[in-house]
Every structure is written in structure tokens, then in C-alpha cells.
Amino acid sequence: AQSVTQLDSQVPVFEEAPVELRCNYSSSVSVYLFWYVQYPNQGLQLLLKYLSGSTLVKGINGFEAEINKSQTSFHLRKPSVHISDTAEYFCAVTRNMLTFGGGTRLMVKP
């Protein structure tokens, strides 16, 4: 079985500040890891994915994530956020089907 826990339901941050959205996962086998973003009234857009290899993964819009297999974490980071980054972010894990966390609402304030 696989599961995903997003540790923060909401993260408020000021514009141009750094941000980290936390994600822990559990799985009895090796899995692929993803971060998706969802803007209001829209579907899911892939930010980045980890399949294998380097523990640091770079994605779109300046986001990156680092997998820590000993702590089973896959936290998402951005060094400087913009107002337009305000959205819901979902961490997901897959072996044969996607399992999502509950989401983290990133609120960027001016």
C-alpha cells in the first residue's frame, strides 16, 4: 500500500520570500513521486516528477523538490514566490495508480 501526507494544509508567505511545502510518503516498494499544482476551477498541472537518479529534481516555474529516501520525504521548494504562485499544491506517489496527498494551499501575500 502507498500513502501520502502533506504536513501543512495552508502556507501563507509574502511575495519574494522562499517557501517549502512538505510531503511525506510511504510505500512498500519503490515508487515515482510527483508534485502537481491546481489553480482555481482547473485541473492538475505537473510541476515536477522523480523517477530515479539525482535526489534533486527541477520543475517548471522555478520549483524544485528533493527526495530523502531515509526520511521518505519529497518536499517542494521555491526560492522566491510570486503572487501568481497562489494555488493548491498536491504531492502524489504512483506504482500503478496515483495516490494524492490532501493538498497544501499556498497563499502569497503582497
State the nearest-atom distance from the C-beta of 43 to another protein, in Å.
Answer: 4
Among 14, 16, 20, 32, binds another protein (CB under 8 A): 32
Using CB under 8 A as the binding rule, whether residue 27 contacts another protein is answered as no
Give CA separation, 66 vs 2, 24, 81, in Å: 19, 12, 18
Q: How far apart are CA 36 and CA 65, in angstroms?
A: 12
Using CB under 8 A as the binding rule, whether residue 59 contacts another protein is answered as no
Using CB under 8 A as the binding rule, whether residue 11 contacts another protein is answered as no
Binding footprint of another protein, residue count (CB under 8 A) = 22
Among 49, 64, 66, 72, binds another protein (CB under 8 A): 49
Q: How far apart are CA 105 and CA 108, in angstroms?
A: 10
List for the chain the helix, strand, coil content (%; round to 5): 5, 55, 40
State the nearest-atom distance from the C-beta of 76 to another protein, in Å.
Answer: 15
Q: Which one, of 61, 65, 54, lies nearest residue 93 by Cα?
A: 65
Binding site for another protein (CB under 8 A): 4, 6, 32, 36, 41-46, 49, 51, 90, 94, 96-103
